[in-house]
Structures are given as C-alpha cells and as structure tokens.
Amino acid sequence: MLVAIAVTAAFVVAQLGTEATRATPEPSPNETPSTIQTITSSTTPDLTMAMPSADDGPPAPTVDASCATGTPHQPTGNLVVVPGATTPSSDGPIKTYIVEVEEGLGIDAACFADRVHRTLADPRSWGGREGFAVQRVDVGEPSFRVTLASPATVDERCQPLVTAGIYSCWDSHRAMINVWRWETGTADYAGDLWGYQIYVINHEVGHGLKHGHVNCTGSGDLAPVMMQQTKGLDGCWKNGWPLDAEIDGPLKDEQPSDQPAGDAAVRPMS
C-alpha cells in the first residue's frame, strides 16, 4: 500500500511539473514592453526600441520629473536661449540645435536642456539612426531649435495649426513643446513621464527632419515615433524612438520641414 501511494504521489508531481513547463505567460493589458520582455511568444512585439530603463539608454532623471522649480507659471512670451553647449554626439555630419525656455514658466532651464540632449544624443534617436551627430550650441543660427513654452505661446507660434492649449508642434523652425503637456504627459504614458518626454522631443524634431505622420501598423506593434501618440495608441505599444521602417522603409513619410506640423495639432477648417 505504501509503495502504491508513493508511486501515485510521484506521478502527480511529475504531471504538475510538466504542466508548469508547458504554461506560457500571457501579457496583461496593464503590462508594459519592459515587463514582458522575457515572453517568448511569436506574437510578442520587437522590444529592441522600447522605452529606456535604468539599464538601457539614458536613465530616468533623478530630479523633479518635469524640471519644475515649484514657482508659479507666469509666462511672458519671451523665449530665452539656455546657456551651454555640448560636444558632437558622434563622428558624423553635425546638426546643431539651440534649446529655449519661455521666461516665467517655473521650469529649471538647464534641467530641460539636459533632457533634450539626453534624448537627441542617444544612439536610438534620429542622429544615431540616420548617421549624423547632434550638438547643442547657444549662439549662431542652428539647424533647429527645441523650445519649451506656455500653452498660449505654443498656440500663437504654431498657427495655422490648432494646438488648442494642449498640444505641441513643429512651427517650421522650432520643436514647440507645450509645458502643460511636458508636465502631465498622457494617460497612455501614465507613470512614465520621462518616456513621454522622450517621445515628444523625438516626434517634433522628427518633423524638422522632414518626417511626416504615420499610423499604428497593427495591434501589439511598437508605435512609430511619428504616430500622433498624444491622441492615443490605437492598439500599439508606446514608444519614443524611431523605428527601422521610419528610417528607410514603408513608414518613411517625407514632408517639407519648412511647414508647420504637430503631434496632435490639426489644421483649421476652411
């Protein structure tokens, strides 16, 4: 009898072990690309361009997530160049840029400039993917400008696009980033403000590099950085970096860089 019980118990343990090895974890709707990176299902999206983590690319800043100083917003409309410069990010041809912050935003300008450079100098950003270097300067006429401004200033400078006080744009010379959006992100980027900031910088600068809007390619895919992710993800995973298909593939949608464009801005009805 004891032998029979032992054999039966061994059989049950073996079966449980077999079922455990057969089980494949399925991602839940609340999981992010970084948390499902070990899933081996053939339907798992390619996560090589997913959001940076502490061990992957630029680390999340340790200061206030929005670079806020704690002083009230009292914007003046005056765009101030942030002092400081960097060395070129690589050995490629150089595109220079200037960082500006509107006076009176209650934002640490040096902090914002650091966020911009961390993003653009990352090898997964446009320069690293398209073979050019970026260099921040504070004098002269740069290749482009990255500007943090109040909703009213963004609305004014983005015309004829309608940014409605909540969106950002490329105004034909500048990546105009709405400070309200910079500080709040979106519901799809909840808990990942740094990830949203990476996205909005790359998206608006992408317009300056002649990249137009594209759509989600399919549920479960990484969202193209030139998708209007502020408006929603349409089933795609959030993503702040250019995809291969946006560099030299079917999602490379060229547009003139001297025309206004925006993350979720719309042209006025005629």
Determine the pLDDT at residue 75. Answer: 95
Q: Which two tokens stand for residue 23?
A: 């089980």
Instruction: Return d(Cα 259, Cα 171) in angstroms, integer.
Output: 7
Q: Give the confidence band of 129 by pLDDT, cuts at 50, 70, 90.
A: very high
Give the pLDDT confidence score for residue 266 in this predicted structure.
56
Q: CA-CA distance, 171 to 60, in Å (whole number)?
A: 28
Lookup result for tokens 């073996």: 14
Q: What is the pLDDT of residue 50?
A: 42
Give the residue among 167, 158, 109, 157 at the shortest CA–CA distance from 136: 109
Decide if pLDDT at 13 tops 60. Answer: no
Rounded distance between C-alpha atoms, residue 125 and residue 247, angstroms: 10
Distance CA 126, CA 55 (A): 21
Coil, strand or helix at 148: strand
Summarize the confidence of residues 173-179 as an average pLDDT.
96
Residues in Cβ contact with 15 at an 8 Å cutoff, skipping those fewer than 6 apart: none
Percent of residues, the chain, with pLDDT higher than 70: 70
Q: What pLDDT sits at residue 65?
A: 84
Sign, CA torsion 112/61/86/51: negative
More confident residue, 192 or 267: 192
- What pLDDT shows up at residue 183? 95
- Give the tokens for residue 160: 């004829």
Name the superfamily (CATH) of residues 59-248.
Collagenase (Catalytic Domain) (3.40.390.10)
Q: Average the pLDDT over each of 25-39, 59-73, 239-253 and give the range with the smallest value.
A: 25-39
For the cut 60, the answer to whether the pLDDT of residue 219 exceeds it is yes
Check residue 255 and give its pLDDT: 59
Total residue length of the chain: 270
Q: For the chain, what are the domain ranges?
A: 59-248
pLDDT score for 79:
97
pLDDT of residue 60: 52
- Give Cβ neighbours of residue 238 (< 8 Å, ≥ 6 apart): 32, 33, 51, 188, 189, 192, 195, 196, 199, 223, 229
Other Cβ atoms within 10 Å of 258 Cβ, number: 10
Q: How confident is the model at residue 172 (pLDDT cuts 50, 70, 90)?
A: confident
Nearest of 170, 176, 133 to residue 153 by alpha carbon: 176
pLDDT, average across residues 106-125: 97
pLDDT tops 60 at residue 196: yes
Is pLDDT at 117 greater than 70 in this prediction? Answer: yes
Over residues 12-34, mean pLDDT:
38
Residue 262 pLDDT: 59
Q: Is a pLDDT exceeding 70 seen at residue 145?
A: yes
Question: What is the predicted pLDDT for the residue at 29?
Answer: 34
Sequence-distant (≥ 6) Cβ neighbours of residue 20 within 8 angstroms:
none
**pLDDT tens per residue across span 41-96:** 233 333 334 443 333 445 555 457 889 998 888 999 999 999 999 999 999 999 99
Give 56 or 21, the one with higher predicted confidence: 56
Q: Which helix (H) or strand (E) holds 134?
A: strand 133-136
Angle, vertex CA 29, rays to CA 25 and CA 30, nearest 5:
95
pLDDT for position 265: 56
Q: Is residue 28's pLDDT more than 80?
A: no
- Decide: residue 90, CB within 10 A, 0-12 exposed, 13-18 middle, 19+ buried: middle
